[in-house]
Amino acid sequence: MKTWIQKQTKKQLFIYFLIVASFIGSIIFVNHNHAFYERPIAKVTEAIETDRTETVDQHQNQDIIVNQQITAEVQNGTYKGESIHINNEYSGSHAYDHSFQPGDEVFVTIDDSSHTGTIEDVKRDKYLILVAWLFSIILLVIGKRQGLLSVISLAVNAAILSFALDIYLQNSDISLLIICGISIVLFTVISLLMVNGRNEKTYTAIIATLLGTLSSLLIAYLALFMTGEQGLRYEEMSFLSRNPQTVFMAGLLIGSLGAVMDVAITMSSSIFELYEKNNQIKLKTLKASGIDIGKDIMGTMTNILFFAYVSGSIPMLLLYFKNASPLGFTLSMNLSIELARALAGGIGIVLTIPIAIYTSIFFIQRKRARI
C-alpha cells in the first residue's frame, strides 16, 4: 500500500481522496436524509408472521398469502420517534408487495386516530446509491480519466433528458419530436466531446451519429407513411392523451441514439487509429478496412438494439401466453412497436457505417493536405 501511494502524484492522490470522501459522504447522507422527505418514513423494528394461507385462482395458479404484524419507528415529520403498528399482507410471488424485516425503511401514511400505518412504498435510495457507486467505480477502474468523464456525461445527459421531458409536460403545444431532436444534438455533442476531446475523430463520430439517427427517423417515417401505420398497436400509449405517432418517433430517436453513437465512435476510432499507425496508408485500404470492421460490429449492435427493445415486453408476453392468448395476437399487441423501433434503429446503425467511413476519409484527406 505504501509503495502504491508513493507511485501516485499529488493530483492523483487528491482525486482518490475526493472519490473516497464523496462515497462515504453519500452513504452517510442517504442513511440520515429522512428530514428531506415530505412523506413519513418508518423503520421496521419488529415483524411477526401471523398467518399463512395457500390459494388457487380460477386458472389453477397456486400462490401463498402471508400476513405480517409490523412495528415501526417513525423517522421524520410530526410523529418522529413514535412507534406505529402496520398490518402487511404479501403474496409468494412478490409481484406487487413485499415482506419486511427489522431494519427495512418504508414510506407510510399514518392514521391519526388509530395510530396505525399503511405501507406505500419502500425507501430504496441507499440501495440505489450503492449500485450507482459500483457502476461508477467500475468505470473509473477500467476507464480511468475516460471513465470519470463518462460518468459526468451520463449525469449531464440524464439531467438534459429530465429537463426536456419537463419542458414538454409544461408546454404540450411544443412538439415532443422537436424537443427530443434538440436533446439528441446536445447528448451527442456533449458526450463525445467530453469523453474523446476536440479532434477529427470526435467530429467524425458526431456527424455520423447525427446523420445515422436522422436516417433512422426518416426511414421510419417513410415506412409509416407508405403502410398507413398498419400493424402498429399504440394501445400502450392510449393513456398519454398525446399523438402516439409523435411519441413513437421520439422513442425511436432516443432509443437508437446510443447504439448509433457506439457504432460511429468505433468506426472513426478504428479508421483514425489505422491512419495514425501508418499515415501513408492508401485511402482504398482504409475504406476496405472500415467496411470489414463495420461488418464485424453491425450484427452485434443490431442484436443489442433488438434485445434492448424486446426485453421490456417479456413480462407482458408471459402474461398473454399464460392466459392462452393466440401467438399472433400476443406478438402483435406487445412487439409491433418494439420491432418497428428495432428495425428502423438497425437500419440507422448499418447506414452509420459508410457515413463514418467516408466522413473519416474526408477529415484524413484534409490532414494530408495540411502536411
196 and 270 share one domain: yes
112 and 192 share one domain: no
- Is the residue at 222 inside a domain? yes
pLDDT at 239: 66
Which cell goes with 304? 443489442
Determine contact, residues 224/268, Cβ cutoff 8 Å: no
pLDDT at 4: 72
User: Long-range CB contacts (< 8 A, 24+ apart) of 237-242?
Assistant: 242/172, 242/176
- Is the residue at 127 inside a domain? no
CATH number of the domain bearing residue 310: 1.20.1640
Which cell goes with 19? 472519490
- Is the residue at 140 inside a domain? no
Sign of CA dihedral 200, 293, 181, 219: positive
Give me the chain's average pLDDT, please: 84
Residue 332 has pLDDT above 90, yes or no: no
- Is the residue at 12 inside a domain? no
pLDDT at 236: 65
Out of 122, 150, 184, a domain closes at 122
- Encode pLDDT of 124-148 as tens digits: 888 899 999 998 888 888 888 778 8
Determine contact, residues 71/85, Cβ cutoff 8 Å: yes
Helix 145-170 crosses helix 125-143 at what angle (to 10 degrees)?
140
- Is the residue at 224 inside a domain? yes
**Cα–Cα distance, 363 to 275 (Å, whole number):** 11
Residue 76: strand, helix, or coil: coil
pLDDT at 240: 66
189 and 316 share one domain: yes
233 and 356 share one domain: yes
- Is the residue at 341 inside a domain? yes
230 and 362 share one domain: yes
What total number of domains does the chain contain?
2
211 and 358 share one domain: yes
Lowest mean pLDDT among 69-73, 210-214, 244-248, 358-362: 244-248
Out of 103, 122, 141, a domain closes at 122
- Encode pLDDT of 263-301 as tens digits: 898 899 999 988 888 888 888 888 889 888 888 888 888
192 and 70 share one domain: no
User: What number of other Cβ atoms are within 10 A of residue 313's Cβ?
Assistant: 19
Q: Between 96 and 155, where is the model more confident?
A: 155
Structural domain containing residue 266: 175-370
Residue 74 has pLDDT above 70, yes or no: yes
99 and 191 share one domain: no
- Encode pLDDT of 173-223 as tens digits: 788 888 888 888 998 898 888 888 888 889 999 999 999 888 888 888 887
List, as one string, the DSSP characters of 277-289: H-TT--HHHHHHH
193 and 48 share one domain: no
Out of 96, 122, 148, a domain closes at 122
Label residue 234 by pLDDT band (50, 70, 90).
low
104 and 185 share one domain: no
- Is the residue at 254 inside a domain? yes
User: What number of other Cβ atoms are within 10 A of residue 222's Cβ?
Assistant: 11
Which cell goes with 162? 429530465
pLDDT at 177: 83
Classify residue 286 as exposed, middle or buried by CB count within 10 Å of its CB (0-12, 13-18, 19+): buried
Continuous segment of H or E residues that includes residue 193: helix 176-196
CA dihedral (63, 67, 72, 75) in degrees, to 10, reads 40
Give φ, ψ of 172 to 5 degrees.
-70, -15
Residue 172 has pLDDT above 80, yes or no: no
**Cα–Cα distance, 247 to 176 (Å, whole number):** 7
pLDDT at 326: 79
- Over residues 101-112, mean pLDDT: 89
**Cα–Cα distance, 91 to 54 (Å, whole number):** 10
- Is the residue at 113 inside a domain? yes
Determine contact, residues 87/69, Cβ cutoff 8 Å: yes
* Of residues 284, 279, 283, the one with CA closest to residue 371: 279
118 and 188 share one domain: no
- Encode pLDDT of 17-36 as tens digits: 888 899 999 999 998 888 89
326 and 217 share one domain: yes
